[in-house]
Structure 1
Amino acid sequence: MAWSQSNSVELTCTNKWFETPDSVSFELSSSNESAQFNFKPGQFSSLGFDINGGKAYRAYSISSVPGSRSLKFTVKRVAGGLVSNHIVENLEVGAKVDAQAPLGNFNNIDCTPKSKVLMVSAGCGITPVMSMVDHWLQDKTPIDIEFLHLAKSKQDTIYYDRLIELDSNVTNFTLKMLLEDNTGTSFPQGLISLEWLEKLVPDFHARTVYLCGPTGFMEVVKSALEHACFDMAQFHQESFTPAEAVSESTGGVVRVAVPDFAVELEADEGSLLIDALERGGVPVIAACRSGICGSCKCKVKVGQVDSTSFETLSDEDKANGFVLACSSTIKSNVEVSLN
């Protein structure tokens, strides 16, 4: 499949099913039946859905393996979430979805594993690590996999049957399931301490660790590893919820101009650039809205912003004034370009 970083491709939803009561998996396919999708296991794609007469984008991890004829995604409902609720409730087979080229440094190609790995996930964070695992198993990579996953209950565990199948039938795959309803291994306060890590995976020091899940969960796991003097060069993590830029109005008013689209409007000084661009009808994509996916990259040609994230931006990009609109607050009158 030919991907372009600047353009999206239109795909069709060809299958959809529930994984848990509040999460669904769906597959997107190209009109070219021979097309195969190439990406690095663990990466994500920004998807655009037609909602309320407009196009809404969000970034989701790809849970299928490279070379497949379709892209698989698993999405969990978020309370008040515009896109996640649309996907769970209203996305139908046959619907058209825009997809941008896969991105993300959290993958098992750039993050090279040792001969032993520890995959740690919670909730929907299981999606990118399962793509990595399935890739290793499909390619028959000689790698020993310990899989540690946390969920509320068996019913709420995404890919539960698949995990049990792998644990039963694959000799180099070992599952450790932690369930908050205490039907699995009991543990305190829904988090993993160093004591539990040492108990569940005694040889974790000999493994490469891949971690994905809610922010608080990941902070606890990372802290436990650091406390254990783990070699953090062998630690890799992903999250779509980093520290976000926060709109903090100072009471002043600034001007935001986008000449390419004949847009000029006023905004509160200290407000987010993405909010001003969207309010002006500028066709900027904000998929993750947390400074990770890079889809809202734009160039500040005049004026000043403060940015909290530079993910996917090269040193050359930064030197040329490119920023991520979702992670940048406006500090003066600015002129912006999407090119």
Structure 2
Amino acid sequence: MALAWRAARLDERRPQTATARSLVFTVPGWPGHLPGQHVDVRLTADDGYQAVRSYSLAAPADGDRIELGVQSVPGGEVSPYLAEELPPGAEVEVRGPLGNWFVRRPEQTEPALLIAGGSGVVPLAAMIRAHRRAGAPSLLQLLYSVRTPADVWYADELTDHDPRLDVRLLYTRQAPPGTARAPARLTLSDLEKPAARLESTGTVYVCGPTGFVETVGDLLLDLGRDPATIRTERFG
């Protein structure tokens, strides 16, 4: 059965980086969703032209409210408009929730390893927020690869010293002064300790650009991780 398109009213837009935004919508009749799922967003121009793009849900279910993470892509048809121009109170259409593989369900309160590249942190943020909301005592580890400190999404939440969240930021182009790790792409050595801390049956979630996800997946296999424990979501 096909999912219906629903009207979604923009309530709030919050900056995350110079080009990234969190958008909060009210969607009457929203059926709820699982952390890790996404939606399709449809824009319709005055002449009837329509454009559809997919965006990850950044927060756990909250009644009729949903939060999306939008990275503005230069020259894009949809993301620059959503990130900068759509006025509060205006409506778009959304369809979802979509995706049932890259999810963390309420009964999953065990430790997990989350690995993000750039805006791939958005669905992982939903998992972290749901874990905190549930009061689960187990540890979530987050490896987050970004170009520079200015590119970190959810910076306040990820640096609040929650003992249930172990965050390691891996910079690829510019690191803060005093950072021990030189800027570089994620390597096997970055994964060794976090993977060793996770039980062999623990789930690893990897989200980011296609090349990043494929590289991380191969490195995890090199470390002996069971492919059945690795869940991936890619874009671009």
CA contact (8 A) 2:34 2:103 kept: yes
Which residue is 1:41 aligned to? 35
Q: Which runs of 4+ in 1 moved over 3 A?
A: 50-53, 199-202, 204-207
Q: Secondary structure at the match of 1:182?
A: coil
Which residue is 2:175 aligned to? 182
CA contact (8 A) 2:141 2:194 kept: no
CA contact (8 A) 1:13 1:27 kept: yes
Residues 172-251 of structure 1 mapped to structure 2, 5 A cutoff: 172-180=164-172, 181-183=174-176, 184=179, 186-187=181-182, 189-190=184-185, 192-199=186-193, 202-206=196-200, 207-241=202-236
Larger Rg: 1
* Structure 2 residue identity aligned to 1:74: G
* Structure 2 residue identity aligned to 1:182: A
Counterparts of 2:108 and 2:81, CA distance in 1: 37
Which residue is 1:171 aligned to? 163
> What do the CA deviations read for 1:119-167 (whole angstroms, capped 9, x no partner)?
10011100111111111211123421111101111211111111112xx
CA contact (8 A) 1:48 1:98 kept: yes
* Structure 1 residue identity aligned to 2:5: S
Q: Which of 94, 103, 106 pairs up with 1:107? A: 103
* Structure 2 residue identity aligned to 1:17: R
CA contact (8 A) 1:47 1:97 kept: yes
Which residue is 2:134 aligned to? 139
User: Residues 6 and 200 from structure 1, CA distance in 2 versus in 1: closer, same or farther, beyond 3 angstroms?
Assistant: closer
CA contact (8 A) 2:171 2:184 kept: no
Counterparts of 1:50 and 1:25, CA distance in 2: 21
Q: Does 1:16 align with 2:2?
A: no
Q: Secondary structure at the match of 1:218?
A: helix
Counterparts of 2:137 and 2:229, CA distance in 1: 18
CA contact (8 A) 1:176 1:200 kept: no
Q: Using structure 1 for the length normalisation, give the TM-score.
A: 0.63
Offset of 1:220 from its aligned partner?
Answer: 1.3
Q: Secondary structure at the match of 1:155?
A: helix
User: Residues 70 and 81 from structure 1, CA distance in 2 versus in 1: closer, same or farther, beyond 3 angstroms?
Assistant: same
Counterparts of 2:157 and 2:74, CA distance in 1: 27
Counterparts of 2:226 and 2:193, CA distance in 1: 19
Q: Secondary structure at the match of 2:96?
A: coil
Offset of 1:199 from its aligned partner?
Answer: 4.2
Which residue is 2:118 aligned to? 123
User: Residues 117 and 200 from structure 1, CA distance in 2 versus in 1: closer, same or farther, beyond 3 angstroms?
Assistant: closer
Equivalent residues, number: 230
Counterparts of 1:231 and 1:201, CA distance in 2: 11
Which structure has more relative contact order (CA 8 Å, sep 6+)? It is 2
- RMSD after superposition: 2.2
User: Residues 83 and 52 from structure 1, CA distance in 2 versus in 1: closer, same or farther, beyond 3 angstroms?
Assistant: farther
User: Residues 235 and 200 from structure 1, CA distance in 2 versus in 1: closer, same or farther, beyond 3 angstroms?
Assistant: closer
Counterparts of 1:136 and 1:229, CA distance in 2: 27
